[in-house]
A and B are shown apart, each in its own frame.
Chain A
Amino acid sequence: MSLVVSHLHKKYGSNTVVEDLSFTMERPGVYALLGTNGAGKTTSIRMMLGMLAKDGGEVLWNGTPLTTENCNIGYLAEERGLYPKYTLMDQLIYFASLRGVPREEAKSRIRKLAKRLEVEEYLYPNAFAPSASMLGQKKKAFTFGGSRVKTAKPKLAEQLSKGNQQKIQFMTALLSDPELIVLDEPLSGLDPVNTDLIRDVIRDEIAAGKYLIMSSHQMATVEEFCTDITILDRSRAVLQGNLNDIKKSYGRVHLHLKCEADARPYIEAAGIGIDSEKENEYELKVSGQEQAAGLLSALMAAGVPIVTYDLREPSLHEIFVEKVGEEHAHEA
């Protein structure tokens, strides 16, 4: 299976919102679409999924135009919500049915995902209390231990916290057991516990050989999962390729140094630029391994106690900021 996006183009009047976007996913994994706000990520995704008409280009899945008929797609939109007044179970079954999942199968998948994402108590409120059905009574209120107990009503979406709503929305993307999963900002607004829950599920999907396209501002998350990236800026792709290759091309030029004494004179003497400094802890930009080694020798010779010496490739965050900054500076 493969996903080929070639020369996607979209204009609104004279305003170009996506310009000649192309990329390919030859094997399962995660492809990251990164970009500043308004760079054209969501529009590109909408065009890829056929929700917006393209002005040019094509999207192929196994050589044929990508549609919901020839590819089982799961989509978590950036703009996401739920019907506030409807019960969660009704909504999930409805969304599954639109993706062609039979009712019973949908129920079984909902149960599994609910357990995985720890939202069972909202979908099966009676499972967390002695229920009428357990006692063989089909009533809204029943007697338990001599007292009258009301069965819990199914939860409405509006009764859930934002984080829990987001987990339900995430479930909708996976209900059809999709082969291509598109996640637009999947972790935004989640607390660390829920972030970890969703990260675990994403890891499972990757392990299951799914194709994932992920758009996010959280570079650390993207970096953790993705193999290939496209950085969009002002509707154009400004950097594309395999993340490891991109990092290698930048070289190991970032030095994290922590000493027990002031190292500034030695850094300046070596002609190294300081990106940031805090209590004898420095983020340095070196020209290469030799310059870094020179600084290390000087510090050791001077007897400056070194706590941390980490010469590394740039992070995705640093690449992103540098690349987008370069583009803006270039245009200015």
Chain B
Amino acid sequence: MKPDAFTGTGKVFRFTLAQMLKSKANRRALIIVFLIALLSSPLFSLIQGGSGSGSSVSVIYVQNQTSLSLNGLRDYLAEEGFGDVTVKTDLPEDLKNEAALRLARTAAGLQVEIIGSTERSYYAAEAAASYLRRQLLLEAGVSQEDTKLLQPAGTDIVYASDPVSPAPQGAAPAADGSGISDEPTEVPSESGLSGAYTVQLGFSVLLIMISMISVSFVIRSVIEEKTSKLVDLLLVSVKPGALLLGKVLASLLYSLLYFSLMLCGAVLSLKIFGLFMDLSGVTDYLSNILKLDLAPDVLLVLLVSSLLGLLIFGILSGLSGAGCSSVEESGGAMSLCMLLIMGGYMVSIFSMITGVPESGTATVLSIIPVLSMFTAPTLYMYGAVSIGTIAIGWLAELVLAFLLILLAGRVYSSLIIYKGKRLGFGQILRLAAGKEAGK
């Protein structure tokens, strides 16, 4: 492809973007999206049932019948995501959204009775129990580092069952009905799924949203131009590859803006409504993502992988859109991209369902174009793949994008002047090979 094949891309890009921003309908849509995002947290909270994977846990009552110190408990709870919790010692008769621990020492170890009226309060109390277990180990002379590994005799936590508490995955029932379990219980994760899965799920959902927005903008923009009968006029001034690329880039930037506005609205919603509403349902849900430490290199991987993937979707949707003769056919034109987007989404979340995959699988997931857009950032963040592997994935995506642009340069002008029933991608490839009529 000659270098002048992309001459004019910038002009097409600027004009398309400027017109997208000037459009009254688009501006209205942006405002509506922002308002919806602004209302998202209270709405989500209401759908979740108001409060609580449960409602917020404001107080944990600890009835301490041991000599263990509770001095560091508050800080520990804060580290575990229960920073808003106060520790009190006078256990009331009726618990609402509070949690309680009854601590006693037995020959078997520390007997912990967790009383939680909601799922979240149960987990808060469980975190407190975990802290007390560490204290117990420290008291037994185990070093700070080894407290997580060692479990000397007489330091087991023995849970007492409680009818009020939920039965999370992995929690052992009382063995003899006495209310006291002989076996130490595994501390389950809140959802029963890995943190990597939650992060992947959240990330994939965000990518699906932005990909769909971007794909629909590109297709709409291409079809509108085609139905406006402007194509001949444009193609005499600018090469087809440049026309498509300018349009794709403008639509991409606009959809990023659209998405950013949505995100800003959602964040503002959390901040504003969080002042006078209980949004723990939402924050619980997002806790794994909000807690992420996004280092600059992780952000770079996230950004580059997403943009390359979106570029590929953009070019594909531009080609599909050019094969349409009316706006009504845009749904059909979206099908190929939707298939790829949904495929990427499904593979990405299923690959993380049991935690971060092993290195071989992770490498494959990180270098397959389109799929890598969904998986590479999470895999890199969890250390499953190196930056070298990620770079190979980027290279693969760049090569695919370039090949698609070459294909676009070959068929876009034929497609864009084509009139008739919508062409599928197979027919577009046959057109590129000169085996199909372009008129």
Contacts and interface: CB of A to CB of B under 8 A. Distances in A.
A214 B255 CA distance: 42
B438 interface: yes
B232 interface: yes
A148 interface: no
A45 to B, nearest CB: 9
Interface string A50-94: 111100000000000000110001010111111111100010001
Contact of B236 (A68, A82, A84, A86): A68
B230 A83 contact: yes
Contact of A12 (B12, B15, B19, B439): B439
A86 B435 CA distance: 37
Interface string B201-236: 000000000000000000000001100111111111
Interface stretch (A95-103, A239-247, A291-299): A95-103
Contacts of A73: 236
B8 interface: yes
B233 A172 contact: yes
A43 B439 contact: yes
Given A51-B417, A83-B228, A86-B19, A13 B233 contact: no
B121 interface: no
Interface string A98-132: 11000000000000000000000000000000000
Tier of interface size on chain B:
20 to 34
Contacts of A43: 439
Interface residues of A, number: 33
Interface in B401-424: 413-414, 417
Nearest to B438: A12
Nearest to A158: B228
Contact of A84 (B12, B228, B238): B228
A302 B150 CA distance: 136
Interface string B1-26: 00010001001100100110011010
B235 A81 contact: no
A52 B15 CA distance: 25
A17 B439 contact: yes
Interface string A287-324: 00000000000000000000000000000000000000
A150 interface: no
A81 B437 contact: no
Nearest to B414: A52
B237 interface: yes
A80 B229 contact: yes
Interface in B236-265: 236-238
A94 B250 CA distance: 15
A43 B418 CA distance: 12
Contact of B233 (A50, A68, A80): A80
A98 B239 CA distance: 10
A99 B438 contact: no
Contacts of B11: 94, 97-98
B146 interface: no
B237 A95 contact: yes
The A interface, classified by DSSP as helix, strand, loop or mixed, is: loop
B436 interface: yes
A257 interface: no
Contacts of B228: 81-84
A98 B414 CA distance: 20
B234 A83 contact: no
Contact of A52 (B238, B413, B435): B413
A264 interface: no
A253 interface: no
Among the interface residues A69, A73, A82, A94, which one has the most CB atoms of the partner chain B within 10 A?
A94
A51 B233 contact: no
B229 A79 contact: yes
Contacts of A202: none
Contact of A77 (B233, B413, B435): B233
Nearest to B235: A51
Nearest to A80: B229
Given A52-B414, A80-B232, A94 B438 contact: no
A75 B238 CA distance: 13
A161 interface: no
Interface in B329-367: none
Given A69-B4, A86-B19, A94-B15, A75 B230 contact: no
Contacts of B437: 12-13, 15
Contacts of A13: 435-437
B19 A52 contact: no
Contacts of B417: 46, 51-52, 79
B439 A98 contact: no
Given A69-B4, A90-B19, A51 B232 contact: yes
Nearest to A14: B437
B244 to A, nearest CB: 14
A81 B438 contact: no
Given A43-B439, A51-B236, A98 B4 contact: no
Contacts of B413: 51-52
A235 to B, nearest CB: 12
Contacts of B25: 85
A51 B439 CA distance: 13
A98 B16 CA distance: 13
A98 B8 contact: yes
Q: Which of B4, B233, B417, B435 has the most chain A CB atoms closer than 10 A to its own CB?
A: B233
A49 interface: yes
Contacts of A94: 11, 15
A102 to B, nearest CB: 12
Interface in A5-21: 12-13, 15, 17
A77 B228 CA distance: 12
A104 B16 CA distance: 20
Nearest to A51: B235
9 smallest CB-CB distances across A and B, nearest first, come from A81-B229, A77-B232, A12-B437, A98-B237, A81-B228, A75-B236, A51-B235, A94-B15, A79-B229
Interface of A: 12-13, 15, 17, 43, 46, 49-53, 68-69, 73, 75, 77-86, 90, 94-95, 97-99, 169, 172
22 contacts: A50-B236, A51-B413, A51-B417, A52-B413, A53-B414, A68-B236, A75-B232, A75-B233, A77-B229, A77-B232, A77-B233, A80-B232, A81-B229, A83-B228, A85-B23, A86-B22, A90-B22, A94-B15, A98-B11, A98-B12, A98-B234, A98-B237
Given A83-B228, A85-B25, 19 more contacts: A12-B436, A12-B437, A13-B435, A49-B235, A51-B413, A52-B417, A52-B438, A75-B236, A79-B231, A79-B232, A81-B229, A84-B228, A85-B19, A85-B23, A90-B19, A94-B11, A99-B237, A169-B233, A172-B233
